[in-house]
Amino acid sequence: MEYTGFENNENPQRFSSGNMLMRLFKLKSIVPLFIGLSFFYLIFYTSCANIGNPTGGVKDSIPPVLFKTIPELKSTNFKGSDVRFTFDEYIIPDEISEKLVISPPMKKKPIIKMKGKTLIVEFADKLRPESTYSLDFKDAVADNNEKNPIKDFRFSFSTGATFDSLRISGYVKNALNQEPVEKALVLLHRTKEYTAFIDSIPDYIGMTDKEGLFLIDNVAPGEYRLYALTDTDNSLTYNSNAELIAFADSILIPSAKFVAETDTVVQGTDTMVVSGHVDFFPETQYLMMFEEEKFDQFLNDSKRTQANKCDFYFSESLSDSFRINLLKPVTDKEWSFIEANQKKDSITVWLTDTIISNNDSLKFELQYEALDSLDHLVLKRDTVELIYAAPKAAKPKRKKNDVPEVQTINLSNNINSSAHDLYQRIQIEAPEPLASFDLSKISLFSVVDTVKTKLPIVVLKDTNSIRKYYIEHTWEPNSSYIFQIDSAAARNIYGHPSNKTDQKFRTQKEDYYGKIYLTISGLSGPALIQLLANDKDEKVLQKIQILGDGKIEFPYLKPEKYKIRLTLDANKNGKWDTGFLAGNLQPEQVVYYPKIIKIRSNFDIKENWEIDYSADYKKVLIDEEAEKEKARKKEQAKKDAAKAENDARKPGE
């Protein structure tokens, strides 16, 4: 026996079909029972769901009630061009166009109309023959007064004689941070080649909610490939490197099975109540969304924030073939100094010739490698014009004997004067590229009482920046130091000398820091453990590579809250690797330690972590301190309410 038209349940894979009466009775009971069942069907199915009456009260909290639909729910052989829903009150149609998902998908969006209390969805495309359509309104249908939505409002019908009732459901999560992805488009393709995801419209679609949950309903029997996409251009295809994607590893064959559960209650001698549920297959799908590493080079942005500085931002790292030519004004002199960031996808051009930098408008030709339409590397040329208008400043009044002021530069550093981090080196940074820097003019002194002692130091040039230097030194805790750079120790590319630096500072106390000792078990291979900042960006603060189960230590931690993330690092390259669609390669698996750890000064935290690899892993991080505070406030609120109630009784006693 085949069962269709199952209603939703909280579990996306197992849905209740309601109590079903099995006809285990004598022949004389068939006619009255048939009439009763027909009446039951007319009430609960042709009128759809969410029927009820307001229970009263000052504020309306009841969502709209659906009285009538044209066509009827789950009707077949539909030949119309629109569907109509009549409610018991006026509704707001504003969000329907945005949230409504129709599957199979349509190239053109439907037209949403209101006629009194009737919502009309008018199809702009011709409906496919012999197809079952599902309309998922989510929570877009709400009443006009209090905006009470009908939750998970769905409707379906068929243009053929068969009503398809299979479904595929699951969750979409960001592969790296394990957060649910909302409003991701989920696509079901009959074509088994992955290229269908790139150049073909899917056969069925769904969309994720806030929990990342998706449900593609009314699917016909067959074999399918399942994908997810952040469809930035509404094309229903994967055609941009900026789009995040996900895919299921294997071909899915949807099916359903009714599981009967006989009730022990017997009504009379003629009937027995049998209830049950329907299991849908395949089981819940978990899709990990990622961004592919594709070479798609182009100039993303360009700026001229000051007269002598031009910035160019690219989508990919630049190769050695990069060239920049000045087209306007024309010059035969050396005119630039080029600085690249660590990834080499950002270029800063410092203009060394003041005649050029004084021009309001500059025109450049950029030459770099990019892919052509056949995915071949070619030299691409872009012409860019940058304009700079200097802010107007009042001219200072000069006296007759004034000496012209010498322009200088300040060298900045990262020293915390009152509590410099014991485990942080000193960073020196110039505002512009340096032509020279006499490192012998950098000094560091320890200060005990009033006695200064010059210390040996190591000065290192940053390998990725021409403006940064570092001082390596082993700091004594809770100690005083003086950091000095003589005046004119450095000169920038314009010949401007540096000002003197003379800075006193004290290092942090040793007992200020805490530690985390973590014992890990259940690993299936090499892994990367990362200590993260407890914020939305989850900045990586420390990382440790391990080959298997064991103990690790995160030392020298400030008294703050932290997260811990583990990546299964099969290739042992010390970083998280994304997925690759054409190679059927999923992104590396990521799990989080289930607690947010609060570090206190001079205190060691010891934790055990049994790694959970289950497919239904959910990122739930418990902040014990926050939970205790929440419980305290709840208890205090109870006490305050009890006191207020007690105080209210006293006047009448």
* Ranges of residues in the chain whose predicted pLDDT is under 70: 1-58, 262-274, 393-404, 651-653
Which pair of structure tokens corresponds to residue 76?
A: 């077949």
Q: Where are the domains of the chain?
A: 299-387, 412-511, 524-622
| Distance in angstroms (rounded) separating the CA atoms of residues 210 and 193 | 30
Tokens 């920049």 belong to which residue? 324
Q: Where are the beta strands (DSSP E) in 117-184?
A: 118-122, 132-138, 142-143, 153-158, 166-174
| Distance in angstroms (rounded) separating the CA atoms of residues 287 and 427 | 43
Q: Are 219 and 134 in contact (CB under 8 A)?
A: no
| Distance in angstroms (rounded) separating the CA atoms of residues 419 and 480 | 10
Reply yes or no: is the peptide bond before residue 329 cis, omega within 30 of 0: yes
Q: Which residues pair with 568 in a beta bridge?
A: 527
Tokens 């950029």 belong to which residue? 366
DSSP letters spanning 508-545? PPGGG-EEEEEEEE---S-EEEEEEESSSS--EEEEEE
Tokens 């800063």 belong to which residue? 348
Q: Could you tell me the maximum CA-CA distance found in the chain, to the nearest angstrom?
A: 124
DSSP strand pairing (285-289 vs 166-174):
parallel
| Distance in angstroms (rounded) separating the CA atoms of residues 428 and 420 | 15
Q: Which residues pair with 261 in a beta bridge?
A: 275
Tens digits of residue pLDDT in 592-624: 999 999 999 999 999 999 998 898 999 999 999
Q: Cα(first)–Cα(last) distance of the chain, in Å? A: 69
Number of alpha helices (DSSP H) and beta strands (DSSP E) in the chain: 5, 45
Summarize the chain as % helix, strand, coil (round to 5). 10, 40, 50
| Distance in angstroms (rounded) separating the CA atoms of residues 18 and 49 | 13
Q: Which residues pair with 258 in a beta bridge?
A: 278
| Distance in angstroms (rounded) separating the CA atoms of residues 510 and 70 | 75
Count of CB atoms situated within 10 Å of the CB of 594? 15
Tokens 């000002």 belong to which residue? 499
| Distance in angstroms (rounded) separating the CA atoms of residues 136 and 215 | 9
| Distance in angstroms (rounded) separating the CA atoms of residues 531 and 599 | 12
| Distance in angstroms (rounded) separating the CA atoms of residues 141 and 99 | 10
Q: Where are the beta strands (DSSP E) in 540-603?
A: 540-546, 550-557, 561-568, 590-592, 597-598
Count of CB atoms situated within 10 Å of the CB of 52? 10
CA neighbor of 362 nearest in space, from 312, 313, 304, 322: 304
Q: Are 386 and 303 in contact (CB under 8 A)?
A: yes
| Distance in angstroms (rounded) separating the CA atoms of residues 162 and 183 | 30
Q: Which fold has domain 412-511?
A: Immunoglobulin-like (2.60.40)
| Distance in angstroms (rounded) separating the CA atoms of residues 74 and 171 | 26
* pLDDT of the residue at 13: 52
* pLDDT of the residue at 25: 33
CA neighbor of 433 nearest in space, from 460, 405, 461, 404: 461
* pLDDT of the residue at 464: 84
* pLDDT of the residue at 373: 85
Task: Using DSSP, state whether 441 is helix, strand or coil.
Answer: helix
Polymer length in residues for the chain: 653
DSSP symbol at 399: P
Cα angle: 612, vertex 617, 619; to 5 degrees = 105
* pLDDT of the residue at 60: 77
From the options 3.40.50, 3.30.310, 2.60.40, 1.10.3470, give the CATH code of 299-387.
2.60.40
Q: Are 12 and 170 in contact (CB under 8 A)?
A: yes
